[in-house]
Amino acid sequence: MHIRSTYRSLEILRGPVFLVVLLLVSVAGCNAPAEKEKPVPERPITEVMNENVDRIMALDEVVMVAIGELKDGTPCIQIYVKYKSDILAEEIGVEIEGHPVDYIISDEIRPMN
Q: Is residue 4 pLDDT above 70, yes or no?
A: no
Query: Is there a single domain that holds both residue 50 and residue 96?
Result: yes
What is the tens place of the pLDDT at every residue in 64-100?
Answer: 999 999 999 999 999 999 988 887 878 899 999 999 9
Please check whether residue 11 lies inside any domain of the structure: yes
Point out which residues pair with 95 in neighbouring strands.
Answer: 100
Euclidean distance between CA atoms 17 and 38, whole angstroms: 41
Query: Of 20-24, 60-64, 84-88, 105-109, which gets the smallest average pLDDT?
Result: 20-24
Residue type (1 letter), 50: N
Q: Are 58 and 83 members of one domain? A: yes
Radius of gyration of the chain (CA): 29
Domain for residue 110, yes or no?
no
Count of CB atoms situated within 10 Å of the CB of 93: 10
Q: Which range of residues forms the domain containing residue 3?
A: 1-31
Domain count along the chain: 2
Number of Cβ within a 10 Å radius of residue 110: 6
Is the confidence at residue 7, as pLDDT, over 60?
A: no
Mean pLDDT of the chain: 78
Q: What is the pLDDT of residue 110?
A: 76
